[in-house]
Amino acid sequence: MTDTPTSATTSTPGRPTVASVLADLLAEQAALDLIVADLDDAGWATPTPSERWSVADQIGHLAHFDQTAAWAIVDEARFTESLHELMAGLTGEASPAEVDDLTLGRFRAMSPSDLLAAWRDNRAELAAAAATLADDTRVIWYGPSMGAKSFLTARLMECWAHGQHVVDALGATREATDRLQHIAQLGFITRGWTYMNRGLEVPAVAIRVELTAPSGAVWSFGPDDAKQSVVGSAEDFCLVVTQCRHVDATDLVVIGDAACEWMAMAQAFAGGATDGPTA
């Protein structure tokens, strides 16, 4: 567990706005750009913790979904067309490599410099589209529509998590920032999703989460009097809920059976149920 500085204050994170989430998304993208911008061809080809995916594939994935996210905001017809094309390829006979190719194929055909340029163009397209959103706008997506703030938070979480795979693969370092607040809050509110996505009943047990932010502030989620808890650094919590780390590989202090069960399978992102790394 990360010790809480005596000067830290405990608070429930405030409500973000579209503008604040977008600003943090752009900063997170820029931070990852700095890590990959000067890689040589061998660096781009480095395998990452994601099975079958290289560093280039991680960036290609972000480039693809940044672009379709822009379409979802400003060109619903184009997004829907791309969705239908994707679903048509997701047949029961498709191999994992063929499924990868549906979103990564065009990027895998690019040189590293062209891929980096494509990602920069697509995230600029997303930024321009996101600037048109109001806080109460809903955006179509691959499942149910999402509120604008949640939609952009999901893009930030994706960038940070895929960026972590890049960082791990390259042995690079990345400074933790209080942008993690968005991911931490998403990780907390998706506890129910973790169970429902697996066809499991959500335990009727309250859990208190107290996280020390990189700035030293303490973010709290859940009722003060909950008997079960997760306490530690915000970075460790975010690594677990994005399945970049097993909880046993972190310094999180987890108390209670329901809290331990949640942390063992936490999944803050959409899609089918997946298992993160083993301890």
Q: For 9-47, how does the pLDDT look when each residue is reduced to its tens digit (9 = 90+)?
A: 555 566 899 999 999 999 999 999 999 999 999 999 999
N-to-C CA span, the chain: 17
Domain map of the chain by residue range?
A: 18-149, 181-265
Contact 153, 21 (CB under 8 A): yes
Percent of the chain exceeding pLDDT 70 equals: 95
Q: How far apart are CA 185 and CA 188, in angstroms?
A: 5
Q: Which residue has the higher pLDDT, 126 or 10?
A: 126
pLDDT tens for residues 69-118?
999 999 999 999 999 999 888 877 788 888 899 999 999 999 999 999 99
Identity of residue 255: I
Please report the beta strands in 25-143, taking only residues with DSSP state E, as ranges in sequence order.
Answer: 138-139
Which class is domain 181-265? alpha beta
Confidence band of 8 (pLDDT split at 50, 70, 90): very low
Average of per-residue pLDDT across 168-172: 98
Measured torsion, CA atoms of residues 135, 140, 146, 151, in degrees rounded to the nearest 10: -70
The CATH number of 18-149, from 1.20.120.450, 3.20.20.20, 1.10.645.10, 3.40.640.10, is 1.20.120.450
Burial 66-87 (b: 16+ CB within 10 A, else e): bbbbbbbbbeeeebeebbeeee
pTM of the model: 0.93
Quick one: average pLDDT of 178-202?
A: 97
Task: Write down the pLDDT at residue 14.
Answer: 66
d(CA 260, CA 206): 13
3-class state of residue 88 by DSSP: helix
